[in-house]
Amino acid sequence: MKENLKGARKLLQLVQAGSSLSLAELAEKAGMSQSTAWRKMQELETEGVIRKRVALLDPAKLDLKLCIIAHVTLEDHHEEAIEAFAAVVRDRPEIMECYALSGTFDYMLKIRARDVEAYEAFMTRYLMRNPHVRNVVSSFVLRELKSTTELPI
């Protein structure tokens, strides 16, 4: 895989910056033929290096201005508790990201909501009603200093 990345690094950087480039544009900017670029892109997708191609939307323009970072502590760490919590995470579109953590909290969630009232309703209905959730500590993002989906390759 590492050898495959050597030739594909420029392609990956270009696709991360904006996946709307045509194959011809990708190949030209990467300094390779279209057939080589196409083959490398296919390999990267098959190997799972490229997981998905998406459009990034502006949350503010879709009335989802409020960004919340919620730290969650579970009552226990039995398989049932973890799976019940994971089911809520998978099912709720408000939860954009979820990370299992070491340290004080068990999980960190990035959540998008229309406003504080919408977040309160979400938290009350889905997080706090989960019998395995002991505590939720929420912080509201005041200003986003950096947000990127580009990996530093």
pLDDT digits (tens, 9 = 90+) for 110-153: 999 999 999 999 999 999 999 999 999 999 999 999 999 999 98
Q: Does domain 2-46 have CATH number 1.10.10.10?
A: yes
Percent of the chain predicted with pLDDT > 90: 86
Which span out of 3-7, 52-56, 143-147 was modeled with the highest average pLDDT? 143-147
Kindly write down the DSSP assignment for every residue of 61-124, as one continuous string.
GGT--EEEEEEEEES---HHHHHHHHHHHHH-TTEEEEEE-SSS-SEEEEEEESSHHHHHHHII
Could you tell me the CA-to-CA distances from 49 to 107, 128, 151 in Å, in that order? 26, 36, 11
CATH 3.30.70.920 fits 59-140, yes or no: yes
Classify residue 48 by its DSSP letter.
T
Q: What type of residue sits at position 70?
A: A
For the packed helices 34-46 and 2-17, what is the interaxial angle rounded to 10 degrees? 100
Question: Residues spanned by CATH 3.30.70.920 within the chain?
Answer: 59-140
Rounded to whole angstroms, the Cα distance separating 26 from 19 reads 9
pLDDT at 25: 94
pTM summary value: 0.86
Q: What is the CA radius of gyration of the chain?
A: 20
Can you give the pLDDT at residue 3? 59
Does residue 6 have a pLDDT over 90? no
pLDDT over threshold 90, residue 4:
no
Number of C-beta neighbours around residue 38 at 10 A: 14
pLDDT of residue 18: 86
- Write down the pLDDT at residue 2: 60
Domain with CATH 1.10.10.10 in the chain: 2-46
